[in-house]
Amino acid sequence: MICCLNPYCYDPLNPDDLTACKSCGTPLIPLLRDRFKIIEPIGRGGFGKTYLAEDIDKLNERCIIKQLTYQASNEEEAHKVQQLFQQEARQLQQLGEHPQIPALFAYFQSNKSFFLAQQLIEGQNLLKEFEQKGAFSEAKIRYILQNLLPVLQYVHTHNVIHRDIKPDNIIGESVTGKLVLIDFGVSKVIAPTAQTQTGTMIGSQGYASPEQVKGKVKPSSDLFSLGVTCFHLLSGIDPSVLWTDRGFSWVDDWQRYLGDTLDPQLAYVLNRLLNKDRQQRYQSANEALRDLQGVPQHQPSGYTTTRSTYSFPAQSSSSNLPARSPVSQTSASRTSNSSRQPVSVTVVRDKPISPLTSVFGAGIVLVVGVIGGFIWLSSQIPRYQTPVTSPLQSLPLQQVSPTPNHPPSNYPPRNQPPPSYPPPSNYPPPNYPPPAPPFPQP
């Protein structure tokens, strides 16, 4: 069979004996550039169409042929798209030495069309795996992070930003099980000392970071997209839907959409990957990998747990990595929501304790301790009591007239003389000296 290279042909496969396409009449090319035999189309992206092919010069080794098919509205736009396509070839040539990035075979022009030949990765992308097996487990999410963070560190070290990380562009090899990062068509080269500049927003809606939407990208922008990818596979919810409904506010409470309690350490790593503020986000893939593998630089134990009940679309879960069948790279459709049934679950989400709250609590404990110590120390010192004189004791006694209605019982009746008392019997005293004689008058 010969495949028609007209990107808009609705039935491109033709018998070998034909010279023109039976569907659209386009002349057929048995060998593209006298080297590549096109077998069949396998997908279409934003800028081109993808074919499965055989490399005659490499003993019919299967490969991928990407054809630039973007229809620009003006010459300037066409030139920009052509530059991006050529840039992808350069990136694959530079980065293809890494075992988890496809290698470049050729970049050429034929019949006024641009083509790119690259290594075929036998396996399926994570979106197709999700559609077949359902939401990923925590173990799978850890596996994804542990496999892709070193790849992103390698890419960023070469001053390249991928700008389109999503489940469609991550393929699991069927033989080794390693994850391969594909589609560098919209990647960007940055100078090591260049300042962030505003440019054109390129990426996928829902996966692009806030600064990328504004036309500014940094290596941490890829880390945000990786965090969104993990959220999509873990929750089963398309982030583009959340972005349409809530903008970027959904990342503030992303755990509400999960059906199970998440490991605190993994939740902490995803929290930092999904931070809207790129200054608070991980600045390198190695930093995130260290937190994932060992003791975090910022202790996850500083998180409090709160429980809430929400309704979310139910998804089936799987605990093991599914077997992969050797299929080619494709662009898969979004997750279907037709079979989802709403259920109610109780989930746990982590909230970081504010540093100000921690300092305030420590201050209260310190003050209480000082006061308690002072009280205890005071109780150990002996005290000497001194007599205290009441102010009332210094006042002269005064005779208080009784009230008219309540006279005391021993008080004489009103308007009567007081009783007379006889003088004492020994008065005056018997031995009392007589009075002195009067002093003689002159």
Domains present along the chain, CATH in parentheses: 2-119 (3.30.200.20), 126-351 (1.10.510.10)
Q: What pLDDT, on a 0 to 100 scale, did the predictor assign at position 81?
A: 82
Task: Say whether pTM exceeds 0.75.
Answer: no
What digits encode the pLDDT tens for the residues 134-150? 999 999 999 999 999 99
Q: What is the reported pLDDT for 434? A: 64
Taking only the tens place, the pLDDT of each residue in 338-389 is 444 443 434 444 455 566 677 778 888 888 888 888 787 777 765 545 555 5
> At CB < 8 A and 24+ separation, what contacts does 171-174 make?
171/121, 171/123, 171/124, 171/125, 171/126, 171/329, 172/123, 172/124, 172/125, 172/126, 172/129, 172/321, 172/324, 173/121, 173/122, 173/123, 173/324, 174/122, 174/123, 174/124, 174/324, 174/325, 174/326
Residue 270 has pLDDT above 90, yes or no: yes
Whose tokens are 């982030």? That residue is 239
Q: Which amino acids are annotated catalytic?
A: 164
What pLDDT was estimated at residue 57? 92
163: pLDDT confidence band, cut at 50, 70 and 90?
A: confident
